[in-house]
Amino acid sequence: MSTAGAEPGEPGAETDTEIHAQLLVLGSGPGGYTAAFRAADLGLDVVLVEREETLGGVCLNVGCIPSKALLHIAKVIADAERASAHGVSFGAPQIELEQLRSWKDGVVGRLTTGLAGLARQRKVRVVRGEGHLTGPHTLTVAGTTVTFDHAVLATGSRAVRLDGIPHDDPRVMSSTDALALADIPERLLVVGGGIVGLELAGVYDALGSSVTVVELSDQLMPGCDPDLVAPLHRRLRERYAGVHLRTRVESIEASDAGLLASFTAVEPALEPAVFDRVLVAVGRVPNSESLGLENAGVAVDERGFVTVDAQQRTSTPHIHAIGDLVGPPLLAHKAAREAKVAAEVIAGHDVELDVRGIPSVAYTDPEVAWVGLTETAAKLTGVAYRSASFPWSASGRALASDGQDGITKLILDPETNRVLGAGIVGNNAGELIAEPGLALELETDSQDIALTVHAHPTLSETIAMAAEIADGTITDLPPARR
């Protein structure tokens, strides 16, 4: 056991088989470490339990950060390729896989080491091992019993496995395997056209794989507005060996020659084909079933997500739960926000989760981002709205940076023009979505945005221009027909 601020894996100074904490945090992802650090800053004595060697959970170790490091390289390659159409050619990239891998691992290492330091500075005791609740106030981990007054459960989620797929074959990859970058397969099949599948497809495409994507539903990134997905879909269709919607992988047969995949597709049919690797990215399930939740009276829903109230309290009031464990959206910033609420409630503050929108970002090429109400959700739920979309083909900055197929869309209350949501597709959409996110939180309307002077030429201007469309004051597009 490691305690008293020792790093996970290091022998700790104490050898007790029983320790007590005011707050036990189980799991050290963006939810768990944020809850632990915030609670420690509020004066609580915290024990943080993590089964992996390093802190940081999926996000830092095998999710957000390594994928963004590789996507940065993919973007450099794609931008260099695009420059050749404008008279500047760099030639085919020379890829030193070992060096790329070690740079990516170095980025992750800096962050996870930094977290261990932050834990030490706050005197958060880190205990390494798989935790199991044995009662409402007790947890066992690596032969030690931790007793606690309060707990925050933050054990995250893991990738779904599909029947009919030989997951034990090393050529069949989860997102974690794909990020390990064992090699660059000649032919890669990506099963699942959601955000994780498409981001990793983008990495392997840039590194030289011939990529085929199959998606069960009738749209890439189900849930996102179709007009925002369309420019991405068009670009992927041009680049990839295939992008197949309404297509199910029925089976994959492994042989020395490769992985033979068979499909059932609603028009057009897709013939069986052999791939060198297959990435399965079809969603995630919560890590809830082996925690001993039943011993502590913590309830889960039919999908295994722990149920919580607006203060992140579970059915056992002194135990809170946060992050992927409590349900979608499965995003790091959602986990961190919930973590702060849980820690503050435990420290005696009267706060609750009160956000109008949690942004979602696909770091694809082009990026797709949205926040708050989507048109898809508004139509499904019958919420009244009006939308205003500014085409990036009329943005000087977008044209000057090869991004003319982007769109910025505001979704507004039809009576008051208050911002209800926004969606952006195009370069840096993930950065740009912060402004409509703030507008949503501050309950501003399209006029507030339109009257805010945005620098020219920037992509952020497209947000003001969408607001001007809504207000009827746009001069950068042809006049509205009378």
Residues of this chain that bind ligand FAD (CB under 6 A): 26-32, 49-52, 57-59, 63-64, 67, 130-131, 154-157, 175, 196, 287, 291, 323-325, 330-333, 335
Q: Give 176 or 315: the residue with its C-beta nearer to ligand FAD.
A: 176
CA distance 38 to 23: 11
Q: Give 2 or 175: the residue with its C-beta nearer to ligand FAD.
A: 175
Q: Give 31 or 372: the residue with its C-beta nearer to ligand FAD.
A: 31
Least distance between ligand FAD and beta carbon 327 (Å): 10
Backbone angles phi, psi at 274, to 5 degrees: -100, 135
Query: Backbone dihedral region of 387: left (phi > 0), alpha (psi from -120 to 50 degrees) or beta?
Result: beta
Least distance between ligand FAD and beta carbon 340 (Å): 12
Q: Give 177 or 461: the residue with its C-beta nearer to ligand FAD.
A: 177
Q: Give 154 or 228: the residue with its C-beta nearer to ligand FAD.
A: 154
User: How many residues in the chain?
Assistant: 482
Least distance between ligand FAD and beta carbon 29 (Å): 2
25 DSSP β-pair partners: 48, 152
Amino acid at 268: P
Q: Give 296 or 412: the residue with its C-beta nearer to ligand FAD.
A: 296
Q: Which single residue is written with the structure tokens 């996507």?
A: 71
Least distance between ligand FAD and beta carbon 395 (Å): 25
Active site residues: 456
Cβ atoms of 197 and 281 within 8 Å: the answer is: yes
Q: Which single residue is written with the structure tokens 């050749």?
A: 84
- The crossing angle, in degrees rounded to 10, of helices 97-121 and 64-83 is 140
Least distance between ligand FAD and beta carbon 269 (Å): 31
Least distance between ligand FAD and beta carbon 94 (Å): 26
Q: Give 67 or 314: the residue with its C-beta nearer to ligand FAD.
A: 67
Least distance between ligand FAD and beta carbon 383 (Å): 25
Cβ atoms of 439 and 448 within 8 Å: the answer is: yes
